[in-house]
Structure 1
Amino acid sequence: MKKSLTIALLGLILALTACGQEEDTLEQETAEKPKTEENQQETEENNAEKNAQSEKETTSIVKNEFFEPFKGTIEHVHGLGYVGNQGVAFFASHDGLKLFDGNEWYKTKKENNDYMGFNATANGFYSSGHPGADSSLPNPIGIQKSYDFGKSLESIALEGEVDFHLMGVGYDNNVIFVKSPHKSSIMEENKFYISEDEGSSWREVPAKGLNGEIISLAVHPNDENLMAAAGKEGIFLSSNKGEEFRLLTNGAHGTSIFFTKGSLIYGAYNEEPMLIKRSLTDQSEKEIKLPELNQDAVLYFAVNPQNEKEMIFISFNGDIYLTVDGATSWQLIADDGNLK
């Protein structure tokens, strides 16, 4: 059932604080005269090249035996992104990863964990959360990373100690920025920390100016100085590794944040939902056209790094929209979490 944005936003804040096709190869016989050894070798090399290219074009991540077709409902999504530069959108839900390849939905067969603080990266993903029924991970899982789409997970930090709902990770640089929900063996409660060596070491950052309830964090894909946050007070940006933040918006709730190499794309709500693309060079802003959202707003958003005209988002009410033409048009692919 659809709910008002105010209720959905409040619910999210409370949750954060509470815890291609294969093609057959056709062989044709010809009446050509026998080839010389040189011509035969050239033909074999050409065929090998064509076969390799054909295999490359038809190989898809969703053909991996770790995935299977999925029909049903996606609930409690806590992050999305294009994992491993594969051009496939991953959704982190309370019962494992769900994938959309532009046409069909898939799910993971194992490690169906309750993922929180999910971040896609160029090599895989980072996440926190709780183990699923089929997982041997401790509860909570701390910070884990995967380079094989979730089939195996490697502990980064605080396994068995912390469930991070607020975590940002740079797509290419793997810089991790978190807010600690409670005291642990290496962090203090409600403090911000950064790791520039994939969790081997951490240092606290003051995050001056970052006020109010925060619902999401983000790190620039390449520039470790740039970090952003979205929350009840608006959208915040830091250019010095989280030491200080400045408020970019005025009078609007911040709902989502996403970095491309040249811009910060953020969602906000002030009586109407907005999606804004802000240049990181001249700070100019341009509104991205949204589909009609009734008492709703963008919750998680991502751009395909292989094609910036392809964008995808999930709303607070669980509607999922995809565009492949730079937001000229949007396709509804899930309505209130129900797959179309």
Structure 2
Amino acid sequence: MKLKGILFSIFMFLYSSPIGVLAHGTEEEHQQEVASNTFATNGLLVSAAILVTGIISIFVMNRRMKTLNVKKQKEKGKRDSLQKGVKIGQWVSIVSLVGVISFGIFSFINTKAKDIENSVELMHVHGLGITNDGEEIYVPAHDGLKVFEAGEWRSAKGDKHDYMGFSMVDDGFYSSGHPEPGSSMKNPFGVVKSNDMGENLEILDLYGEIDFHGMSVGYNSHTIYVFNPQANSRMDDVGLHYSMDDTKTWVKAELKGISGKLSAIAAHPTEEKTVALGTTEGVFVSHDGGQTVNQISNLPVSGLSFSRQGDLFAGFASDKMAISKINLETKEQTAYEIPSLGEGNAINYIAVNPNDENNIVFATGQKDLYLTINNGEEWEKIADKGTGIASQSLTGEGEHEHEHEHEDNGE
């Protein structure tokens, strides 16, 4: 009968045509994701449509059979035909119901997989950096680099090394740290750099000898400052050292005038011998490569970073956590209102967009990350205790609630 042909034609179209979409081939990953999502959505809709059509058909045919007089041979034949149609409708309805359930589960798994992909886990946070075009935030997170771009998280290409002392520069990054498990590279790294965001590493110095946790590199000057924790083949003593020629030579800084325990280092983006140091007793700045320093703040420092324009951003940890921008020429400080971070959740790392000083991101000791694109008027949380959070405002997927909290010790 016609109904049987129509139902089976739709059925065969639904369950055979999408197979080619899921086949492995040379399509780009994005195209595969779009095809997969389209397949799941269309399959769910078509299965649901067939299920509704089947149920309606069964109902109509049952109503029709009740009107027939089975004592008449002609109408008895119609009843037999309708009974066959009901059986076909029942089978099609059962199969389409299975399709609705299957495609529903498939769609749910796709959504969850995307959520997991866009919500990376930051096992540790060992630095922050923003690329030269201002589009990507990089976070070294023990198991490789994590990237926040256009409101979404992903893992960077390249090996999953444990980068320490991570410092973004205009054409890539410098770092120290340790190789990932199973890597053929020596442990620790000493000083390495990359011009392709970690896909390849260039070994510079002290390879297999030392891991620098305290390290900062000038964004444009590429002057390297490290705090050496122990004597090694290139440095006879502990303390601050710098190199202006990609580690060919090192100079030890005397740090005359500094006090407190060192907690942060920030190399000026363009002035090779200008470096800021944070200690438990304040912010100190040197213009002679760390030989002498001058104190410009007396609050305990947890994190430091220069903007590309040369302003110094400091994270303070005293009675409450705070961020201030310091003009090195005038010593003027501009305090930012930030979300309440909780006791002991100090600001360890700060990064400023090279192209827009209104765009700031900071990371805390408890692996919370906050982002502002309007100079601190509003802050959005993009990682909560190490779990990445997609930004609805930057992806354009809808409205979201900004973190717009004033500092409040009572919270």
TM-score computed with the length of structure 1 as normaliser:
0.77
Query: What is the identity, as a one-letter code, of the residue corresponding to 1:230?
Result: G
**Residue number in structure 1 paired with 2:364:** 315
CA drift of 1:329 comes to 0.1
Deviation of the 1:72 alpha carbon? 3.4
Are 1:303 and 2:352 matched, yes or no? Answer: yes
Q: Report if aligned partners of 2:269, 2:310 keep a CA contact under 8 Å in 1.
A: no
Compute the displacement of 1:210 (Å).
Answer: 2.8
Structure 1 vs Structure 2 CA RMSD: 1.8
For the pair 1:196 / 2:244, whether they are aligned, the reply is yes
- Give, in angstroms, the shift of residue 70 of structure 1: 4.8
The secondary structure found in structure 2 opposite 1:152 is: coil
Paired amino acid for 2:355: Q
Any conservation in 2 of the 1:79–1:91 contact (CA below 8 Å)?
yes
Q: Are positions 1:279 and 2:327 aligned together? A: yes
Number of residues of Structure 1 aligned to a counterpart in Structure 2: 274
User: Does the 8 Å CA contact 1:70/1:107 hold for their aligned counterparts?
Assistant: no
Deviation at 1:335, TM superposition (A): 1.0
Q: Which amino acid aligns with 1:159?
A: Y
1:176-325 to structure 2, matched below 5 A, reads 176-250=224-298, 252-260=299-307, 261-295=309-343, 296-325=345-374
- The amino acid across from 1:334 in the alignment is A
Aligned-pair CA distance for 1:213: 2.1
CA deviation vs aligned residue, 1:5-38 (integer Å, no higher than 9, x gap): xxxxxxxxxxxxxxxx99xxxxxxxxxxxxxxxx
Deviations 1:156-197 (A, max 9, x none): 110000100111100000000111111110112422211001
Q: 1:225 deviation in Å?
A: 2.4
Residues 127, 244 of structure 1: CA spacing in aligned structure 2 closer, same or farther, 3 A cutoff? same
The one-letter code sitting in structure 1 at the alignment partner of 2:223 is: V
Question: Deviation at 1:290?
Answer: 1.0
Distance 2:122 2:261 in 1: 26
Match of 2:149 in 1: 101
Change (3 A) 1:258 1:208: same
Runs of at least 4 residues off by over 4 Å:
none
Task: Say if 1:80 and 1:90, in contact at 8 Å, map to a contact too.
Answer: yes
2:178 matched to which residue of 1? 130
How high is the sequence identity, in percent, across the aligned residues?
35
Q: Name structure 1 gaps, 5 residues minimum.
A: 1-20, 23-67
Deviation at 1:148, TM superposition (A): 0.3
Equivalent runs, 1:50-65 vs 2, <5 Å: none
CA distance in 1, matches of 2:150, 2:338: 19
Q: Which has the larger radius of gyration?
A: 2
| Amino acid of the structure 1 residue aligned with 2:347 | V
In structure 1, the residue matched to 2:222 is 174
Note the C-alpha offset of 1:109: 4.2
Cα deviation for residue 199 of structure 1 reads: 1.0
Aligned-residue offset at 1:248: 2.1
Q: In 2, Cα distance between the equivalents of 1:238 and 1:259?
A: 14
How far apart are 1:229 and its partner, in Å? Answer: 1.3
Structure 2 unaligned segments of length 5 or more: list them.
1-29, 32-115, 390-411
- Bigger RCO of structures 1 and 2 (CA < 8 A, at least 6 apart): 1
Does residue 164 (structure 1) correspond to residue 212 (structure 2)? The answer is yes
Deviations 1:209-243, CA, capped at 9 Å, x for gaps: 23332122111000112101122222211121111
Structure with the largest fraction of strand:
1
Give the conservation status (yes or no) of the 8 Å contact 1:192–1:204: yes
- 1:88 pairs with one of 110, 120, 136: 136
Q: What TM-score comes out, normalization by structure 2 length?
A: 0.64
Q: Tell me the distance in 2 between the aligned counterparts of 1:127 and 1:69.
A: 26
Question: 2: distance between equivalents of 1:194 and 1:299?
Answer: 22
Amino acid at match of 1:280: L
SS at match of 1:248: strand
Deviation sequence 1:274-323 (CA, Å, 0-9, x none): 11111122111111221122112311000111222111011111111011
- The verdict on how the C-alpha distance between 1:198 and 1:303 changes in structure 2, with shifts beyond 3 A counting, is same
Tell me if structure 2 keeps the 8 A contact 1:111–1:134: no
The structure-2 alpha-carbon separation of the partners of 1:267 and 1:128, relative to structure 1 and needing over 3 Å to count, comes to same
TM-fit CA distance, 1:78: 1.1
Residue aligning to 1:64: none
- Give, in whole Å, the separation in 1 of the partners of 2:152 and 2:270: 31
SS of 2:192's equivalent? strand
Shift in Å, 1:249? 2.1
Cα distance in 2 for partners of 1:153, 1:136 equals: 13
Matched residues in 1 for 2:377 and 2:119: separation? 28
AA aligned opposite 2:328: L
